[in-house]
Structure 1
Amino acid sequence: MTAEGQRRGRNETEEERADRMWGELIQEVRVAQTGVQILFGFLLTVVFQPKYGQLTSTDQAIYIVTVVLGACATGALIGPVSLHRLVSGRRVKPQAVRLASRMTLVGLALLLATMTSSLLLILRVATHDGYVPYLVAAVVAWYLLGWYGLPLWARRRYSSRSADQDGHPRLPRSPG
């Protein structure tokens, strides 16, 4: 392999890097937004079903927490779009990318909590067995491994020291 083929990183300006990272981030957010919006839409219909009135007070509380978590996850995952629209043309894209990346991570954590509480509610209603918390814990462990564990391991194992805490190449901070 040639020295050029072994070179790491890209020869980009700060703005080019921010543009690329923004495009990547928006593609990632689209996937998460679709999932959270479908789940949230489903959750909103549950309260109007006849069986809702038959839920125990614990299950109704889990449902309310789940809906609130779903609303928060939706807000966090739509937030980067609003951020981009409000700061577009203000020459702050590198800072906006960092902020949007953090909003997306918060949204993913809220989506994890929403999915966890949704699964707990559904399994509590569908089976009244004592193994439900263990099954939910196993699914959460799977999500944590796939969403956080493996990516963090790969980042630590394969990324250069020039990456920031989100695993993206460092963007110089603009003065002021």
Structure 2
Amino acid sequence: MTRRPAPYTRKDEDSGERLDRHWNELLQELRLAQTGTQILFAFLLSIGFQGQFQAADQFTHLVYAGTLIASALAVALFLAPVSFHRIVHRQGLRDRLVIAADRLAQAGLAFLVAAMAGGVLLALDVVLSRPVAFCIVAGILIWFVTFWWLIPLGVRRKSDEVAVDRADDT
């Protein structure tokens, strides 16, 4: 299979400029993810100190613990590129920085999905029966996976197929 050239390659852009552009695009994405995840994390921290929560059953406490941990890990992964950048700044490692930051962001998204699902489960378990809450959360997980991974991967696959077809035509 013939791979298409790097997407959004500009003819007047050298590899350093392209890496800078990719880094800046990733930073914009991370700013959004970091803010939302940090708000979720702060909210989750406050729940554990509520009197009613302390009287909840073991299942609720386990879901809470898992959700809080997933949220903390997502925050860590979304902030990791900042630390990474500080450590490798001016070392000529921008290519590795962009690749590592991309992988850290992907992992952060996975933990964010887990934290979102746990948070929704905690809330729905209070107002609905547990089986109904599980079913709704399963649907929400499918929703996230579909829009965050399956659709983008489908678009990417289709784009690769079109690029191969174009290359075969030449």
Q: TM-score range by the shorter chain?
A: 0.7 to 0.9
Structure ranking higher on relative contact order (CA contacts 8 Å, 6+ apart): 2
Write the distance in 2 (CA, Å) between the matches of 1:33 and 1:22.
16
Does residue 138 of structure 1 match 2:139? yes
Verify: 1:71 aligned to 2:86, yes or no.
no
Q: CA deviation at 1:84?
A: 1.0
Question: Structure 2 length normalisation: TM-score?
Answer: 0.86
In structure 1, the partner of 2:4 is none
Query: 1:39-118 maps to which residues of 2 (within 5 A)?
Result: 39-118=40-119
For the residues of structure 2 that align with 1:47 and 1:100, how far apart are their CA atoms?
Answer: 32
The question of whether the paired residues in 1 share the 8 Å contact of 2:84 and 2:97 is answered with: yes
Residue identity matched to 1:128: S
Q: Is the 8 A contact 1:14 1:94 kept in 2?
A: no
Alignment check: 8 A CA contact 1:18 1:94 kept: yes
TM-superposed deviation, 1:130: 2.3
In structure 1, runs of 5+ residues without a counterpart are: 1-7, 162-176
Is 1:27 the equivalent of 2:24? no
CA contact (8 A) 2:9 2:18 kept: no
The alignment status of 1:154 with 2:150, answered yes or no, reads no
SS in 2 for 1:48: coil
Give the 3-state SS of the residue equivalent to 2:87 in structure 1: helix
Count of residues paired in the alignment: 154
For residues 32 and 9 of structure 1, the distance between their equivalents in structure 2, rounded to whole angstroms, comes to: 26
The percent of aligned pairs where both chains have the same amino acid is 36
Q: Label 1:129 to 1:100 Cα distance change in 2 as closer, same or farther (>3 A).
A: closer
Deviation at 1:129, TM superposition (A): 4.5
Question: Offset at 1:20?
Answer: 0.3
Q: In the TM superposition, what whole-angstrom CA distance separates every residue of 1:88-118 from its partner, at most 9, and x where no partner exists?
A: 1000001110000000000000101111111
Larger helix proportion, structure 1 or 2? 2
Per-residue deviation, residues 40-62 of structure 1 (Å, max 9, x unmatched): 01000001111112210110011
Give the alignment's TM-score, normalised by structure 1. Answer: 0.83
CA distance in 1, matches of 2:83, 2:94: 13
Q: Which residue of 2 aligns with 1:167?
A: none
Maintained 8 Å contact 1:18/1:97: yes
Q: CA RMSD in A?
A: 1.4
Letter in 2 for 1:37: Q
1:9, distance to aligned residue in structure 2 (A): 3.0
